[in-house]
A and B are shown apart, each in its own frame.
Chain A
């Protein structure tokens, strides 16, 4: 029984394990800007240890305590971009509740404690040659790293970007820069409903040879893609959200039911997800 096993110098990573793949680190804020009236882009200076990421993975953020907001639990947030060469990690988020409200008050030069990278990311299978990326609002942030991965793999996706109004459309230039064909739909133009999207997606399946669907967030969009996918034998993946506590897989708070191995099973969104097979989602 040696106490010395556990005692580490202040400078050393705490209880560092050779198998550690999840890290808790303090990251300096490089920039933090509004990208439109609702969304903010947070860019962190991050060590290489947390930048071994996959598209679709997330980080668990320790939002600060402010005068207005005192969030207690961490907030899961999907990665908007990661760049090892620039040592950058960024998040695009909508200011909504106490957690994002507190985050919005962070200033460049301050620090944010992050845990990650977490969860299972998207898997872009070799046989998928013409993927469709469909997301609404801030959900596009989750699909941005996947669009970059498509570019890296030489695949040219079609991206349908949906928003309430044209000025809230995000990242369309970013998606185009990754070689994606971008189609925008908005509530104000009246073409973002399921009744408009269904024929649009069906048409793309015929005209562009779409052979995989990727989406996140909205259960409405998931249902629609499940139905179209079932009709045409097209698979795909979905990134889901759920209330979380630990984010690592310990607490079992974030379970949802999925169709797997011939029955309905509860799976942890933080651990078995956040990315699941399109037809698994119940």
Chain B
């Protein structure tokens, strides 16, 4: 039996498998015992109520999904009164994901949701389908640093910054988040995308554009995980297209201290418990006694070329 535990800053997780925000809710407890997970990460909430986007909110493409759910939210009060108590019965850190329209709103909201039972706050600064054609805080180092700095002074809870693949400044954004006081990075959210039905000529999402997730996204978010793990000293949590144990191992080898499983849970709701079981077997097969022994062990020949040299 390998030691599956991993540390994300001050938090110790019993294993590195947790859900990605937006693909997890209390209903999953009707499928398996949520006690087995490394952390519980809830769907992004906003302070006030939001209806979300028009349907269709999802469509599939080869090996991936596009979504423009649009963060429907019942608001902070309903969440604190109903959702936080549900998770209190588990001995699993509760990570709540929040979003807001401005840095100041983010800070006020972080303070409001820093209640008993919440172990960390994940900052959704990267959701690409809120406003402004998907432009988000996480696209720029300055905006990212500003949000996190203000939140840092508003709450004592660990802050996890969920980064976006919709930026050309991955390393700069990651370093800005670290400098502003983030305790961990999550790499990454969905990538802004689009689908058209060639027969009808119509767009396939009610919101026109949406976020790409699933196996097709994995090479991009795996690359971001590698870049960020090298560029910062805070823990990086990999996220994007994870469905199999090999996906988990790749992210850990790239430098992730934990991983989030998202769209795969829609395809198979028992994915996460299966990955936990498979991780134990995979470590044993490799003769490793702990997850720690695998993290960041990627073998590279020579120095990575700069992005410009690939372009």
Contacts and interface: CB of A to CB of B under 8 A. Distances in A.
Interface of A: 1-8, 10, 14-24, 62, 70-74, 113, 115, 242-256, 266, 271
B269 interface: yes
Interface in B14-71: 14-15, 22-25, 27-37, 43, 51-52, 55-65, 67, 69
Contacts, number: 152
B280 interface: yes
Contact of B62 (A6, A24, A70): A70
A15 B270 contact: yes
B277 A72 contact: no
Contact of B270 (A4, A14, A18, A243): A14
A145 B14 CA distance: 45
Given A24-B268, A73-B60, A73-B65, A2 B273 contact: no
A1 B27 contact: no
A256 B55 contact: yes
B267 A62 contact: yes
Interface string B272-306: 11101100100000000000000000000000000
Contact of B277 (A2, A7, A20, A115): A7
Nearest to B35: A5
B255 interface: no
Contact of A19 (B25, B30, B43, B58): B30
The 8 A-B residue pairs whose C-beta atoms are closest, nearest first, are A15-B273, A15-B32, A17-B33, A6-B36, A249-B27, A3-B4, A72-B60, A253-B58
Contacts of B267: 62, 72-74
A245 B280 contact: no
A6 B58 contact: no
Contacts of A249: 25, 27
B73 to A, nearest CB: 10
A242 B56 CA distance: 9
A163 B59 CA distance: 29
Contacts of A14: 32, 270, 273-274, 277
Given A17-B31, A253-B57, A253-B67, A3 B22 contact: no
A253 B280 CA distance: 34
- Name the residue among B28, B52, B60 with the largest chain A CB count within 10 angstroms: B60
Contacts of B273: 6, 8, 14-15
A3 B65 contact: no
B86 interface: no
A16 B27 contact: no
B93 to A, nearest CB: 11
A246 B280 contact: no
A97 B85 CA distance: 42
B141 interface: no
B265 A246 contact: yes
B27 A3 contact: no
Contacts of B37: 6
Contacts of A255: 52, 55, 57, 72
Contacts of A271: 27
A249 B30 CA distance: 11
B264 to A, nearest CB: 11
B14 A5 contact: yes
A275 B15 CA distance: 39
A16 B32 contact: yes
Contacts of A15: 32-33, 36, 270, 272-273, 276
27 contacts: A3-B4, A5-B35, A19-B29, A22-B30, A24-B268, A70-B62, A70-B63, A71-B60, A72-B63, A73-B58, A73-B65, A242-B55, A243-B58, A243-B59, A245-B58, A246-B265, A246-B269, A248-B30, A249-B27, A250-B24, A251-B67, A252-B72, A253-B56, A255-B72, A256-B55, A266-B51, A266-B52
A3 B3 contact: yes
B193 to A, nearest CB: 14
A264 to B, nearest CB: 10
Interface in B196-228: 214
Contacts of A243: 55-59
B244 interface: no
A266 B29 CA distance: 23
B2 interface: yes
B33 A251 contact: no
B273 to A, nearest CB: 3
B12 interface: yes
Interface in B49-107: 51-52, 55-65, 67, 69, 72
